[in-house]
Structure 1
Amino acid sequence: MRIFRLLIFPLFLSLVILTPLKITARDIKIQVAATADVHARLFPYDFVANQPAKTSMANIHYMVQVLRSRNHDNLILLDNGDLLQGTPAAYYANFVQETDKNLFSRVMNFMRYDAATIGNHDIEAGPEVYNRIKEEFDFPWLGANVLDAETGEPYFLPYTIIERQRVRIAVLGLTTPSVPKWLPPHLWEGLEFQDMVESARYWVEYILENEKPDALIGLFHSGFGSLEPDPSEHPLEHASGYIAKNIPGFDVIFSAHDHRRRIQTVINILGDEVLVLGPGHFAENLALAELSFARTSRRTFELLDVKAEMISTEKVVPSHTYIQTFEDDVNEILRFANQPVGRLTESIHSIESLFGSAAFTDLVHDIQLSLTDADVSFTAPLAFDQTIRSGTMYMRDFFLLYEYENFLYTMELTGQEIHDHLEYSYGLWFNRMRNENDHLLNLFRDQMGRVPGDRRGRRALQNPPYNFDSAAGIIYVVDVSKPAGSRVTIESMEDGNPFSLDATYKVAINSYRGSGGGGHLTEGAGIKHKELSNRLLTSTEKDLRSYMIAFFKELEEPYTPASRNNWRIKPEEWVKQGREKDMPYLRQ
């Protein structure tokens, strides 16, 4: 009988056992620690803000050293995906730096990770990067549901067996199957992504029958999700909770991808307890499960007890040996991030993009239209509340302007599909205002339909702002007094020519959206996912950010940002009061 103990304590407090357990001196305790969604926070420095950072893998390394010293090296260290993207450090390591081994390989090997699962943003780095790192890691990179399209076999190892004092622990890795909906095909060419649930069902049976481990751990780059999802939602993006409940055999599951901290017990269909842990993101926490085993014979063990702890890194000092080891890399990244690129005559503020046509997003529109022969451009504010100040623009500023390594597509869409795309976007974006006292933005609401006062910043929004697409190249109005789906009226092209719902237009759009990400083209415009590739006219060879950098380098004069003012929201007096009402929720 396994007994779960859920504990949340600082690093240096002793673990407290709330109920006496029959654990003797002969019993073995093994700790399993996991990071997830690190997104390239390798060092205690924010290369974008150009200032020290509170958390990083250097802080994680210090904690890991403490845990290894306390537990006689009976620690298993895991990472749960989305490591390779997110900061100038990632971009420099993956696409600029010339070294014998990739920086991420060197960091993870130095920290002595035992296994990792690949995440969708790791695939986003491209096959040259992830195939290289796959070979350089000193540990297995897992992904049981990522198949080689030619052979049908797992492209990454499906699972691994890790031994500590003869205790055999199986770790099964799975990742979200939604990659083809989000990324251009050349980044995952030759790969197929299976349903996590079906893959888990097969591999659990295989592992238990053939490996007979003493414990089974799921390392899933997938959020917790619903325990009872609608059948139409399969395959699930967030499947960790569903698998914990419906596929018996797991003792512990580490979740990721949703960036949520979690310590939760799920009762599976056989009545057994499954502990689900999620460490959150950005190396802010280490999720720790402690498994206690009784030796039943020379080679067999019984799992008696599982305890959980969430260790914050915020007040943990960075590892000195870690910093020393990678000091040269840090200096190289600093030089890269602080390169001057161009100049702005005016500051631009991303938060203005939430309330209408704004210079921040219109700068992206301007560049997308200049790079293509498109009639219309779609983009969204990828930064939530950031400012790029007037004066010199540095390399690091372009990671504020455009966070992701998306490519730029030119696609063919009808006028009706452009209209429906925008209706879908503004349905996510704006609340239906019934009078001047209503909220303008679609804010998060509790089960009673109320806007809670304790959710601030990005968390105040019901939907992520990277799905708030606006358009350039056309003049249109959004009427928030009308229900979602009936708000957008396109009046004309920006050059004064008429706009027709029946005509076909060239549209500049990023590869995430053009591959179906966010659902704007599929659920909104009604284009079948398999048809999207047939609409693609051109794609850039490199990521869009690199073209933005080139755009500014080629300018002879400072750039003057300005709003295109090609779209507006009405009723205008309601919108003004709604903005004033909503702005306090957006400030942290």
Structure 2
Amino acid sequence: MISRLTLLITFIAALLMGSCSDDRPESLIVKIIETTDIHGRIFPYDLINDKPLDHSLAHVADFVRQERENKDQEVILLDNGDILQGDPIIYFNNFEKKESKHLISMAMNEMQYDAGALGNHDIEPGPEVYFKLKEEFTFPWMAANAVDQASGEPVFQPYTIIHRKGVKVAVLGLITPAIPKWLPEHTWEGIVFQDMIEAAAKWVALIKEKDKPDLMVGLFHSGVDYTYGNQNENTPCNENASQLIAERVEGFDIIFVGHDHQGWNKIVNSPDGNEVLLLGAKNDARNVAVATINLTMNKKNRRYEKDISGELINMNEYNADQSFMTKFTPSFHEAQQWADFKVTELGGRLVASQSLFGDAAFTDIIHQLQLSLTDADISFTSPQTFNLTIEPGRLTVKDMFKFYRYENQLYTITLTGKEIKDFLEYSASLWFNKMDSSDDNLLLFKMDADGKVVKNNQNKALLANPYWNFDSAEGISYTVNVDKPEGERVIINQFNDGRPFDLTKNYSVALNSYRGSGGGDHLTIGCDMTKEEIKDRIIFKSEKDIRWHLTDWLKQQDTLIPAANSNWKITPVEWVKEAKIKDSILLFGSR
């Protein structure tokens, strides 16, 4: 029988061995810095609008350098996705300079990022681009819920453990799962995007058991408002599930968010009532999100007590880092020269805001392109922006980024006449208010509980729905009657060439890949089609994006004369005429 003295000696020895093996400090300050939704804003210059900026990744480099010089803290640098779309310099490196090492990987490696998560716009360029970046990055690029369809294993690293003076910081990366709804299948073929809440629960349990981290951090390319886009807390694969995870999955100390460009710094409670910091920067390196964690060892249980605070720090308070600029400015000049290449001559003003109030040259140019490339019967498109004017003169590659913001492909899909009408009815329901008199608004604005138009901090009215879902049609003559109830507004008269339009016949329709993948719900809700039905109806997909085709198409024209062909109108005409003036002032102020 083992004596009590032997048991006591064994117990003391175990305690001593445990204390000797614990090399963690008694206290430590960890500062975690997050960038998100950079969208190619590497340099302090707006290539599209030809103007200098007071924010960029170069400014972030200056801020991070200063923070690392503070030896009283340990710094961790994270990025939360959407780096591969936006500025022309990113497009140039994605598609025009494919054989060289990507500029964004060189820049982020130079800044010594510790980890990153993928965003939906990082999937958008396609596997050739994002797998290239995955290999070039010297840090893990993560998405635990993006799994291989065949094996069920993550396609990207799911999480990482970052060590700072013996302290273990676990960082789990997740991506918004709504990608199949927005992007063409060839960009994500073979990948399944799992529900974020379910994936978080699975991986937190695994990380806790296997790695026993001192700090658990979520790096989620997903927003906070889980009701956005008519979703709710029970919507499977919710686009913006970050807060839901904090409230439903125990174990997180901090969740860094992105995707929604809003900027967040709030505390929510976990299922056990513990505080979780939700923190996220805005887009384009306007600011960074910084979590400061004061760790103090509890000597009884040898666990850290954590004092966590968050802040958003504006980058216009810092300078563009000189060493960063010196190293990468040649790459900037190379892209700048490409962006300045002349495409054609613009023979008149292009005013995007006109496309909110009816048929407009701005959208008709896209319609003309889509019909000419596909020989489709009908074209659908929406404005890619609504507050832009391009003056007559030299039209360059960078102007194409003003004209068409996203790297959507061109699709042709088969729809019945009734589905075409239903599509336009759905678009009108997102776009136009029900007018009972000329005193009413034409546009559907966001309203508060008192029935007043909601305005932003610039005192400009907010639309109830995103303008990129305001689709019009070309190839047919039709009317939208805004004095009629939803579902009874659209009257299609005939084709522009005089052919009769038949609700029972099939027609070919040109539209972008976002819409053709179900984005905006025009096909799923408007036309009551399943995803499989939509997929089966697609008869053409372009290899290159619409902006590339637009540029190539315009190169063949000596001069572009913008003009609307007035194939559709909104009635009652007199009511609409008065409402346009009022609504324009609400949206843009006095002009």
TM-score, length of structure 1 as denominator length? 0.93
Tell me, in whole angstroms, the C-alpha distance in 2 between the residues paired with 1:97 and 1:543: 16
Amino acid at match of 2:158: P
Following superposition, the deviation at residue 202 of structure 1 comes to 0.5
Give CA-to-partner distance per residue, 1:304-354, whole Å, 9 cap, x none: 200111101123221111111111011001101100011121111111100
Query: Do the aligned residues in 2 keep the contact of 1:140 with 1:157 (CA within 8 Å)?
Result: yes
Tell me, in whole angstroms, the C-alpha distance in 2 between the residues paired with 1:279 and 1:459: 24
Q: Structure 1 residues 585 and 131, CA, compared in 2 at 3 Å: closer, same or farther?
A: same
* Equivalence for 2:18: none
1:233 alignment partner, SS class: coil
Tell me, in whole angstroms, the C-alpha distance in 1 between the residues paired with 2:551 and 2:143: 35
* Equivalence for 1:441: 443
Following superposition, the deviation at residue 98 of structure 1 comes to 4.9
Written as runs of structure 1 = structure 2, the 5 A alignment for 1:133-172 is 133-172=133-172
Query: Do the aligned residues in 1 keep the contact of 2:350 with 2:562 (CA within 8 Å)?
Result: yes
Query: Do the aligned residues in 2 keep the contact of 1:425 with 1:469 (CA within 8 Å)?
Result: yes
Q: Structure 1 residues 226 and 193, CA, compared in 2 at 3 Å: closer, same or farther?
A: closer
Written as runs of structure 1 = structure 2, the 5 A alignment for 1:284-295 is 284-295=286-297
The percentage of aligned residue pairs carrying the same residue is: 45
Q: Which moved more, 1:251-260 or 1:291-300?
A: 291-300
Tell me, in whole angstroms, the C-alpha distance in 2 between the residues paired with 1:452 and 1:144: 38
> Is 1:106 matched with 2:102?
no
> Is 1:564 matched with 2:565?
yes
1:513 to 501, 515, 518: 515
Amino acid at match of 2:286: E
Amino acid at match of 2:46: D
Give CA-to-partner distance per residue, 1:540-573, whole Å, 9 cap, x none: 1111111111111122x31211102011111111
Q: Which moved more, 1:284-293 or 1:569-578?
A: 569-578
* Structure 1 gap segments, 5+ residues each: 1-24
* Equivalence for 1:309: 311
Following superposition, the deviation at residue 438 of structure 1 comes to 1.3
Following superposition, the deviation at residue 255 of structure 1 comes to 1.1
Amino acid at match of 1:552: L
Q: Structure 1 residues 298 and 272, CA, compared in 2 at 3 Å: closer, same or farther?
A: closer
Amino acid at match of 2:586: Y
Give CA-to-partner distance per residue, 1:75-95, whole Å, 9 cap, x none: 111111111101111110111
* Structure 2 gap segments, 5+ residues each: 1-24
Following superposition, the deviation at residue 189 of structure 1 comes to 1.2
> Is 1:64 matched with 2:64?
yes
Query: Do the aligned residues in 1 keep the contact of 2:256 with 2:280 (CA within 8 Å)?
Result: yes
Report the RMSD for the aligned CA atoms in angstroms: 1.8
Tell me, in whole angstroms, the C-alpha distance in 1 between the residues paired with 2:513 and 2:492: 24
Q: Structure 1 residues 227 and 348, CA, compared in 2 at 3 Å: closer, same or farther?
A: closer
2:177 alignment partner, SS class: coil
Written as runs of structure 1 = structure 2, the 5 A alignment for 1:123-272 is 123-226=123-226, 230=232, 233-272=235-274
Q: Structure 1 residues 301 and 329, CA, compared in 2 at 3 Å: closer, same or farther?
A: farther
* Equivalence for 2:329: 327
Amino acid at match of 1:563: A
Q: Which moved more, 1:442-451 or 1:563-572?
A: 442-451
Query: Do the aligned residues in 2 keep the contact of 1:143 with 1:174 (CA within 8 Å)?
Result: yes
Query: Do the aligned residues in 1 keep the contact of 2:262 with 2:281 (CA within 8 Å)?
Result: yes
Amino acid at match of 1:477: T
Tell me, in whole angstroms, the C-alpha distance in 2 between the residues paired with 1:562 and 1:540: 26
* Equivalence for 2:116: 116
* Equivalence for 1:74: 74
Amino acid at match of 1:211: D
1:292 alignment partner, SS class: strand
Following superposition, the deviation at residue 71 of structure 1 comes to 4.6
Give CA-to-partner distance per residue, 1:124-151, whole Å, 9 cap, x none: 0110000000000000001000001121
Q: Structure 1 residues 441 and 205, CA, compared in 2 at 3 Å: closer, same or farther?
A: same
1:461 to 463, 483, 496: 463
* Equivalence for 2:585: 584
Q: Which moved more, 1:141-150 or 1:295-304?
A: 295-304
1:282 to 265, 269, 284: 284
Following superposition, the deviation at residue 51 of structure 1 comes to 1.3
Larger Rg: 2
Amino acid at match of 1:87: D
* Equivalence for 1:28: 28
Query: Do the aligned residues in 2 keep the contact of 1:278 with 1:287 (CA within 8 Å)?
Result: yes
Amino acid at match of 1:440: L
Tell me, in whole angstroms, the C-alpha distance in 1 between the residues paired with 2:271 and 2:211: 23
Tell me, in whole angstroms, the C-alpha distance in 1 between the residues paired with 2:36 and 2:76: 15
* Equivalence for 1:502: 504
Tell me, in whole angstroms, the C-alpha distance in 2 between the residues paired with 1:313 and 1:94: 26
Tell me, in whole angstroms, the C-alpha distance in 1 between the residues paired with 2:476 and 2:149: 41
Amino acid at match of 1:335: Q
Following superposition, the deviation at residue 100 of structure 1 comes to 3.7
Number of residue equivalences: 563
Q: Which moved more, 1:290-299 or 1:496-505?
A: 290-299
Q: Structure 1 residues 458 and 175, CA, compared in 2 at 3 Å: closer, same or farther?
A: farther
2:560 alignment partner, SS class: coil
Amino acid at match of 1:242: L
* Equivalence for 2:39: 39
Query: Do the aligned residues in 2 keep the contact of 1:478 with 1:569 (CA within 8 Å)?
Result: yes
* Equivalence for 1:573: 574
Q: Structure 1 residues 580 and 299, CA, compared in 2 at 3 Å: closer, same or farther?
A: same
2:40 alignment partner, SS class: coil
Tell me, in whole angstroms, the C-alpha distance in 1 between the residues paired with 2:461 and 2:585: 13
* Equivalence for 2:10: none
Amino acid at match of 1:239: A
* Equivalence for 1:533: 535
Query: Do the aligned residues in 2 keep the contact of 1:439 with 1:581 (CA within 8 Å)?
Result: yes
Amino acid at match of 1:570: T
1:277 alignment partner, SS class: strand
Tell me, in whole angstroms, the C-alpha distance in 2 between the residues paired with 1:453 and 1:96: 41
Following superposition, the deviation at residue 582 of structure 1 comes to 1.2
Query: Do the aligned residues in 2 keep the contact of 1:214 with 1:300 (CA within 8 Å)?
Result: no
Give CA-to-partner distance per residue, 1:496-527, whole Å, 9 cap, x none: 11111111000000011001111111111111
Tell me, in whole angstroms, the C-alpha distance in 2 between the residues paired with 1:184 and 1:137: 25
Query: Do the aligned residues in 2 keep the contact of 1:127 with 1:187 (CA within 8 Å)?
Result: yes
Amino acid at match of 2:498: G
* Equivalence for 2:55: 55
Tell me, in whole angstroms, the C-alpha distance in 2 between the residues paired with 1:296 and 1:144: 32
